[in-house]
Each structure stands twice: as structure tokens, then as C-alpha cells.
Amino acid sequence: MCAQKKGRVFSGARPTGRQHIGNYLGAIKNYVALQDEYDCIYCAVDIHALTTLENTDKLQENIQEMMLDWLAAGLDPQRSILFVQSHVPEVMVLHTLLSMVTPYSWLTRVPSFKEKARQQPENINYGLLGYPVLMTADIVIYKADTVPVGEDQLAHLELAREIVRRFNHLFSPTFPEPQPKLTQAPLIVGLDGSQKMSKSLNNHIELAATPEETHKRVMTAMTDPQRQRKTDPGRPEVCNVYSLHQQFNPDKLDDIAYKCRNALRGCVECKGMLADGINRELKPFRERRQGLVERPGYVKEVLADGAQRASVIARETLLEVEEKMGLKAKA
């Protein structure tokens, strides 16, 4: 007999193409684990990707590549719904309807809107301002009650909860208030030592890279800047190679730290050990991914099935909302 699931999880990610180890350790691994306890709905948010108008020529390829990574990492289309946001257009209708109950001042105070407006002053579009409303619609159209978030996304989710509360107050209880499920993900620093591994900063290692590519990328990583020569003692606590060892060679940390501090191992050899650790950990993932690549049309099938299952829930919710807002006669 199936165990009772705790609730419904929704999460969406911008389709950024091939995922990197920061995406894996920061989000995907958690998505996979949540499938055991929750009904999960995971979505490539292609409409959100349009707010910055980046790489739209590669949007379809990026969706395909991201989904291959998600599937190879263990997202299971039998247990979870995997789909593309725009394939369930009801969410755009709900976005419009929720926008009618969302005060303008709630949106202009959102820090990420101010930041994006600063970053792209030539394209401060409505989509940027309305992003939290669409995000709310994404969650509530599936009546999800749980959203995995990092600390940095708590403010967005709080706004979604405010919109839900307002709608429920105006039109009677309709949506559950989505609760944050804080992820205890490690912060994965970039190879260049910057705070976050990111594709746009080109400081990342793709999950699907070959072992040789991985080795080459790791060799470019910054280490302790004070360690100029092999004979200089190093400081593992400030070295981003060491922080990656914590993820990929947890059983060798004492040896790595000791030999670093006492200048008994050079950085090139130490990086080689890291590349080996990453390649060892990702070998099963890469084999599964290759198997999926050799099944043309498989990702399309998964996404079509996911969109169909998501549509059933979305249509039902939208009808309820339209009736409550007086747009449709009650059945």
C-alpha cells in the first residue's frame, strides 16, 4: 500500500539549459528527495524566462537539456508531474485574475524587481513587475501547499501568501497558503571564487560534461590566493576547491586539509583529486543521461503527459476561480 503523501509540492525553474553542479546540489537533489514524501509538480518556467529576453532563440533547446538533466538526476515522471509552464495556458488567465487583487505597491517594493530594473533599465517591462503574481498563479493553480525555497526566495513566497490571503478574504477560501520548505542546500561557490556557481558567470561545471571536460574546468579553479608555490602552506578554509571537496570527497577531507596546511600536496594534484571525485559521483548520472539522449522523442512525451495531467488540475481550479469572481455562472 502506498504511504500517505504529506501534501503537494510545486517548484519551477527557468530553463537555463544544461544544469551545473550548483543547480544539482542546490535544488535538483532536493526535488528528487521530495518525491518520496509529496505529490510533486516541477515545471520549466519558460514564460518567466521572457522577462529578461535572454536566449529566447535557444529556449526549446534549453528546456530539452534541462529536462534531460532532471530526468537523469532521478525526477520520475511516473511519480511527479514534469511539464513546461506555457503548455498549461490557464496559468496566464489566473495570473491576470490575481493581478486584479494585487495592489501595485506590493509589487514595486519587491527587491528583485528593483534590482532587475537597475540591471536592464532599457527593458523594465510589465512582466518584471508582475513576476510575483505569475509565480503565485504557478503555485496556486495546482493548489500546492508546499514550495521548496532558499532563504533568498522567502520574500517572494511571502508575497504569494499575501495575494492568496487577499483572494481568499475577498472571494471565500479557495487556495491553501503555500508554506516554504527551506532547503538545507550547501552554497556552491564558482570556480572563480565568486559567491555562487552560475552559468552566466561561466564559473560552473556542467553535470553532463565529459570526465575530460570536468578535469579541464576544475584545473581553472581559483585556490588559496596566498599559496603561490607548492612549498607554501595553504589554507583550505578559504579555498573553493576545498569547499567542493566537502561535497565530492567527504571521506578524504582530513587528509586534504592536512596536506594542504603542511604543503605536502600541490594544488594541481589536489584539483585532480577533486575532478576524480566529481567524475566518480556523476558517472551513474551521465550514463542515465546518455541512455535518455538515445531515446529520441522521450522528453517530448514526458512533457506532453505532464502538461496533460497538470491541465486537469489547472482547469478545475480556474473554473472555481471564475465562478467565485462572477465570470461564470455557478454550476
C-beta of 230: minimal distance to ligand SF4 in Å? 9
**Cα separation values, 105 from 101, 110, 122, 138, 159, Å:** 12, 9, 22, 21, 12
Cβ proximity to ligand SF4, 102 vs 223, nearer residue: 223
C-beta of 281: minimal distance to ligand SF4 in Å? 18
Cβ proximity to ligand SF4, 280 vs 328, nearer residue: 280
C-beta of 263: minimal distance to ligand SF4 in Å? 8
Q: Residue written as cell 462572477?
A: 326
Residue 171 buriedness (CB in 10 A; 0-12 / 13-18 / 19+): middle
C-alpha distance across the termini of the chain, in Å: 36
Q: Residue written as cell 500500500?
A: 1
- Measured at the alpha carbon of residue 200, what is the angle toward residues 199 and 205, in degrees to the nearest 5? 20
Q: Which residues pair with 215 in a beta bridge?
A: none
C-beta of 265: minimal distance to ligand SF4 in Å? 6
Binding site for ligand SF4 (CB under 6 A): 223-224, 227, 234, 236, 239, 241-242, 256, 260, 265, 267, 270-271
Cβ proximity to ligand SF4, 178 vs 190, nearer residue: 190
Inter-residue contact 207 to 24 (CB < 8 Å): yes
Cβ proximity to ligand SF4, 182 vs 187, nearer residue: 187
Cβ proximity to ligand SF4, 14 vs 265, nearer residue: 265
In angstroms, rounded to a whole number, what is the distance separating the alpha carbons of residues 17 and 247? 23
C-beta of 251: minimal distance to ligand SF4 in Å? 16
